[in-house]
Amino acid sequence: MSADFREHARPTRTRREFVRDAFCGFGGLALASLVQQEQARAAGNLLAAKAPHQAAKAKAVIFLFMAGGPSHLETFDPKPLLNTLHGQSRPVEFGEAKYQFINKEAKILGTQRKFKKYGQSGIDVSDLFPHMARCVDDLAIVRSCHGDMVVHSAAQYELFSGRITPGFPSMGSWILYGLGAESDSLPAYVVLPDPKGALEAGQPMYMHGFLPAALQPTMFRPGERPVLNLDLPKGVDPLVRQKTAKFIRDLNQATLDPADEEFHARVGAYDLAFKMQSEAPEVLDLSHETQETLDLYGVGKEPTHDYGRRCLLARKLVEQGVRFTCVVSGGGPGNMQWDAHSDIEENHLRKAAETDQPVAALLTDLKRRGLLDSTLVLWGGEFGRSPEAESGKGRDHHNLGFTMWMAGGGIKGGQVVGATDAIGLKAVEQPYHFRDIHNTILHQLGLNQHKLTYPHLGRNERLTFVEGKVIKEIIS
């Protein structure tokens, strides 16, 4: 054999080099496999935490839903001219009959509420809300909200989903789609309904619509036990329950169709239920709260006990990473809601007495725990009330101008944005639609309305429908 042949036939790597390179190669393959598996798990888990599209000021939302339509004229939008015009027909300069939703003979209804300036910001707040008034420097009050519908169900659909018909995803589900969940042992989107009964729009207004079923809300039960069967049965060891849950999961996954979203969601619900048995009981148990905290929320006394308990629970849920919580005030027949057709005084005095202290307590508690900066709080209903009287002492539905407010989550408090005209009939300065409220919430959470889309029936749908403006005046 020639020297040249032996030189060319020499291996390019020594055994030591081969072992070294092979080790690195196999290690790289193993790492790539692990990364791929992790990515696949994340892709299959729609609730996996996701990075926002842009810098975020908030990471959670609490919506204090005043169902039925609280009157802006009795709460946050003083109109002295109403008392001057009380009993008279609406002056022509405020619009033709096309803005009249009750009847042409209706007369202007004055208000018995007294307004006073509060806080360093000197914002007018009604005497219905003495507790909220003390938090006014944290509130950004938008007096120029408007929507498209004047009936409860359609307006409630629009408030939650941006559409006036059922079947579209609620803002809670859209937010989960964009950001995922922070906690894997609690539901990421929770609705705390009023125990008095269902609303006109019903459960569909809270739902996930055409988004995957994993993004649907968890409807807690009204009353003292929001979730049943959280305790392990007597004599059952947690490890045994864990093995049972794993066995059920393995059986489900053995026949799981990757395209069956409902089945995926059901499997996820079983897993979540098991995790909640170990962690949720402590979160839902208010007995460990200090007496000072319970008193702050009005828990243990009437009429604040129920709404106070649910507001306190909302704080605890946010504290544990729940992304979106809706605390409903108003349920059942019309008068049980903020739906003051027959007597605005009786209705609003009663509903304010139930909610004023708990809402203020929630803001105070979030703030002192350092949670308000990262939690956006929204207050409002599906519309306001009319300047004219209905049934002598009541006010009808009114969607052309009403008030909502936001606090926390990067919102600049202590200010009023927009205005209605002198009798509160219509938003005339800086009018903001529901889709502008939605887009402002998304913006604070770091979500871009143009990127938060989902393909449905041939088009990319989004929460804000055509497009929403960010209410820049209230952004800090």
Tens digit of each residue's pLDDT (9 = 90 or more) over 375-416: 999 999 999 999 999 989 999 999 999 999 999 999 999 999
Fold (topology level) of 57-474: Alkaline Phosphatase, subunit A (3.40.720)
**Where on the phi/psi map is residue 431: left (φ > 0), alpha (ψ -120 to 50), or beta?**
beta
Query: Are 95 and 104 in contact, with CB atoms under 8 Å apart?
Result: no
d(CA 291, CA 301): 12
Q: Is the peptide bond before 91 cis (omega within 30 degrees of 0)?
A: no
Dihedral (C-alpha) 274, 218, 332, 222: value to the nearest 10 degrees? 30
d(CA 27, CA 405): 55
Q: Which of 115, 106, 110 is nearest to 82 (CA)?
A: 110
Q: What is the pLDDT along the chain (476 residues), one digit of tens a residue?
A: 555 545 555 556 666 665 555 555 555 544 444 444 344 344 457 889 999 999 999 999 999 999 999 999 999 999 999 999 999 999 888 876 444 444 567 899 999 999 999 999 999 999 999 999 999 999 999 999 999 999 999 999 999 999 999 999 999 999 999 999 998 889 999 999 999 999 999 999 999 999 999 999 999 988 778 776 556 667 666 676 667 667 766 776 666 666 666 666 666 665 666 566 666 678 888 989 999 999 999 999 999 999 999 999 999 999 999 999 999 999 998 889 999 999 999 999 999 999 999 999 999 999 999 999 999 999 999 999 999 999 899 999 999 999 999 999 999 999 999 999 999 999 999 999 999 999 999 999 999 999 999 999 999 999 999 899 999 999 98
pTM (2 d.p.): 0.84
Question: How far, CA to CA in Å, does 343 sit from each of 305, 347, 427?
Answer: 24, 6, 24
